[in-house]
Amino acid sequence: MKRVSTFLGTLAWSLLVMIVVWPSHAIQVPELVRSKNPAPNLTAETWVLMDFNTGWVLAEKNADKRIEPASLSKLMTAYVVFQEIRKGTLQLDDVAHVSEKAWRTEGSRMFIKVNTKVSVKDLLKGLIVQSGNDAAVALAEHVAGSEEGFATLMNQHARRLNLANTNFTNAPGLPAEDHYSSARDVSLIAAAIIREFPEYYNWYSIKEYTYNDIKQHNRNLLLWRDASVDGVKTGHTSTAGYCLVGSAKRNGMRLIATVTGTASAKQRAKEVHALLKHGFSSYESQRVFEQQSATAQIKVFKGDHDRLPLGSASPVYVVVPRGQANSLKASLEVPQFAVAPISAGIALGIAKIDYNGSPLMEVPLVALSDVPQGSWWQRAMDTVLLWFE
């Protein structure tokens, strides 16, 4: 193996990544890069601050404690609908019949009328902006035939996203014994929406929506207070208290902050904002590797071409204390050569990321292209050349 070292800040081929496919679980930020700035003192019963790109939890309190998610449940309701649209089983201009059950659903509403037809698009905006419980039930019945069937879909996706402390029994998030989640899990649902459905995520920043001549404002007060905040969802019941998942993006870094069990709408906004400000002032995000970007090249024998680019299969990010990006260093360990045939995606090397001289992470370097076998003449010539390697 040959070894190459370089400071990440000077990498012309720009590479930095936390081994992604984006993590479907949230893990603690490595102690090596934990900021010394203390987290804010909050009144929320549970809370979590997460970096979106890495999935690293920068600060938390009781993040895995089971809580009543209230209308934060509608994050999963929307996620299921988005999945059905992507699969082609549903379209935005499809119309749903409003049942009496949907019309009578208690709590916040978009005020759809019984026995009318409402488009999926309108119902989604009523769900997201107005937090309509009636919209949630109408969508659930349209997608799955019943709210119970829709809850099954919600739980299937919860398991796929590795949500360890989540179970849904209804679409709006009304209190129920077996309906629960956690601050960490609802943050992961929000992250999945942002990551997988950017075309719909911008709906979470809509400040007001009018349906049936009734204008309602988004309950996320941070949309008016901070231009970097672009979502996500509020929740409240008398037993759950006031809850909020908020997300903001600054200078390429996105944070997700969740608080549950606060005393008022103003308090939940204040505490989420405090978490976001703490994250942006204490940390910065660095992309260490671009997806499918050549980091190194190695010689190939017996192939139809003699050079093979290696790189990360997906983008890789790290988070470091603000102002400490120059403390990151990458070293590459790659073989002197490989022998064809070679399939794209096979791991052939490692990039090691250090912080202040200590190991932080390792990233597999994979073949970025196929190398089929060369002609019989090429293979014969390279067989001889390999004797001298």
Residue numbers annotated as active site? 71, 74, 131
DSSP classification of residue 68: -
CA distance 127 to 92: 14
Residue 98: C-alpha distances to residues 19, 103, 127, 128 (Å):
45, 7, 14, 18
Note whether 35 and 277 are within 8 A (CB): no
Angle at 119 between CA 73 and CA 134, to 5 degrees: 40
| DSSP characters over 231-243 | EEEEEEETTTEEE
Note whether 53 and 18 are within 8 A (CB): yes
Structure-block tokens of residue 28: 């603690």
Structure-block tokens of residue 185: 């899990």
CA distance 366 to 228: 36
Count of helices and strands (H, E) across the chain: 10, 19
β-partners of residue 255 are 51, 248
